[in-house]
Amino acid sequence: MSSSLQGLRVLVTRPEHQAGPLCQLIERHGGVAVRCPTLLIREPQDWGPALALFDRLATYDLAIFTSVNAVDRALPPIRERGGIPPGLEIAAIGKATARALARHGIDHGLQPEHDFSSEALMALPRFQNVTGQRIVIIRGEGGRTLLAETLTARGARVDHAEVYRRERPTAANVGTLLERWARGEIGAVVVTSTESLLNLFDMLGAAGQDYLRDTPLIVVSARTRQIAAEYGCRHLLLAREASDDAIAAALPGLMANPSPVQLGNAT
């Protein structure tokens, strides 16, 4: 990564408890991190169903973790119940989730090699013949239904363990953010999920949405990139993965080619 981002101000939309490492990377390389969490991670409405499922985790063939938050929220109660059963296969949507599992001592999970999405996970050979298998998807409340629908259609028995819920923050500080944007002080935006993107649009309102559409936007999945394009974002760059290092590595490209980002690994 370039040794200097020349004061580039980057709007970081990660949840507050996950934003620190990326903000530190940006500032270490001469940029300015502007924190604007567009997701709050809360306790689930009811832990009961997930905990009951964890009590019988040994009856499942496979567990799929959909996010870093799913890993961090689920592993403590799973450990309290004896840990991951020896015969349980583990899968992760992408590398960031796999790294979170590794931090908890689980380094043998399946994961896509490139496109870190539900679609890419379902394309792996392991998931082509799941007839009769019991699979648990560990996720937040109200997550995407594609995994469950695809696995059920292929003959699996699928349950969900919902271990957190997502909320949109209030827009209390948006006025200050819009003032900074109007002064040209926001040079790039980082969005790490489609829900974060949609929340940001809602939080900015009509007064700020055109600023977002005209500002280089770094995303970490093809799905988010597509939705951002549908919402009118004009300068999109796809990081190679969802990690902080990959996001930070994409930023110098904005300095070299700030207007507008070309389609390709950018869109």
Instruction: Report how far residue 24's alpha carbon sits from residue 7's, in angstroms, rounded to the nearest whole number.
Output: 14
Instruction: Using CA atoms of 241, 242, 245, 249 in order, give the dihedral in degrees to the nearest 10.
Output: 60
pLDDT digits (tens, 9 = 90+) for 153-191: 999 999 999 999 999 988 667 889 999 999 999 999 999
Domain end call among 135, 166, 197: 166
Residue numbers in the chain where pLDDT is lower than 50: 1-2, 258-267
In a domain, 4, yes or no: no
The three-point CA angle 129-147-164 to 5° equals: 135
Contact 151, 158 (CB under 8 A): yes
pTM: 0.81
In a domain, 99, yes or no: yes
pLDDT digits (tens, 9 = 90+) for 205-242: 998 999 999 999 999 888 899 999 999 999 999 888 77
User: In this structure, are 203 and 148 located in the same domain?
Assistant: no
In a domain, 112, yes or no: yes
User: In this structure, are 25 and 50 located in the same domain?
Assistant: no
The number of folded domains in the chain is 2
User: In this structure, are 80 and 140 located in the same domain?
Assistant: yes
Rounded to an integer, what is the distance from CA 69 to the centroid of its chain? Answer: 9
User: In this structure, are 156 and 177 located in the same domain?
Assistant: no
User: In this structure, are 202 and 123 located in the same domain?
Assistant: no
User: In this structure, are 116 and 181 located in the same domain?
Assistant: no
Least Cα distance to 94 among 182, 220, 259 occurs for 220
Predicted local confidence at residue 94, as pLDDT: 80
Domain end call among 113, 133, 166: 166
In a domain, 24, yes or no: yes
Q: Which domain holds residue 101?
A: 42-166
- Residue 81: give its domain's CATH number: 3.40.50.10090
User: In this structure, are 149 and 57 located in the same domain?
Assistant: yes
User: In this structure, are 66 and 112 located in the same domain?
Assistant: yes
Domain end call among 136, 166, 196: 166
In a domain, 262, yes or no: no
Predicted local confidence at residue 2, as pLDDT: 45
In a domain, 152, yes or no: yes
| 20, 69, 70, 78, 138 from 85: Cα distances, Å | 33, 21, 18, 10, 15
Predicted local confidence at residue 145, as pLDDT: 87
| 42, 93, 147, 217, 257 from 116: Cα distances, Å | 24, 6, 13, 18, 26
User: In this structure, are 49 and 35 located in the same domain?
Assistant: no
In a domain, 46, yes or no: yes
One-letter amino acid identity for 81? R
